[in-house]
Amino acid sequence: MGRTFLYILLLIALPAAAQIYKYTDANGNTAYSNQPPDGVQAQPVELPPLNRVEPQAPSAPQSSSAQAPQPPRNPYEILELTGLPTDEAVRANNGTFTVNVLIKPRLQPPHQLRLVLDDVPYGQPSNVPVLQLVNIDRGEHRLAVQVIDGQTVIQQSPPAAFTVQRVHTP
């Protein structure tokens, strides 16, 4: 049983084009390798072809009406950030500022809002549509807001590009 399991494990682990060799080791045990050992009589093992599953083309709908499937509808008609200047930098000497979330209809429990700064979740989720960013580095950033339910993202706003300008005093 152990040798058969080892043989099967070797077949699975090696790439499709690899050659397997069977030989008897110094202790008299049957062994398998992808390289024939030096000074030992090794026999190539013929491997069966690998199983392959071809992707299936989607079948046409069975109904007589040729309607295209509707994409899932977002629960919120409007979800966007407001309060970020688009043609000038955010002036925040300490890198702290707030943004507003425009959401319609109103946020439904248990949903919460979470910021995504430079494609990484930022801060604690909140049910208040005014969110604060703290100590953001100067330079260009991307910011979006997500509606989440626990760890599941329900919907995300389009990302907004903005620049933070910070003045450092000595």
Please give the model's pTM, rounded to 2 decimal places.
Answer: 0.56
CB 113 within 8 A of CB 129: yes
| Spans of all domains in the chain | 2-45, 78-165
SS3 of residue 170 by DSSP: coil
Q: Count CB-CB contacts under 10 A for residue 99.
A: 19
Strand 160-165 to strand 90-91: parallel, antiparallel, or no bridges (unpaired)?
parallel
Phi, psi of 13 (to 5 degrees): -75, -25
What does 44-65 look like in DSSP terms, one character per residue? EEPPPPPP--PPPPPPPPSSSS
Give 69-126 pLDDT, tens digit per residue. Answer: 555 678 899 999 998 877 788 888 888 889 999 999 999 999 999 999 999 999 999 9
pLDDT at 51 over 70: no
Assign domain 78-165 to a CATH class.
mainly beta
Task: Read off the pLDDT band of 4 (50, 70, 90).
Answer: low
List all residues 6 or more positions away from 16 whose beta carbon is below 8 Å from its beta carbon. 50
Model confidence at 39, pLDDT cuts 50, 70, 90, reads confident
Q: Look at residue 43 in the predicted model and tell me its pLDDT.
A: 83
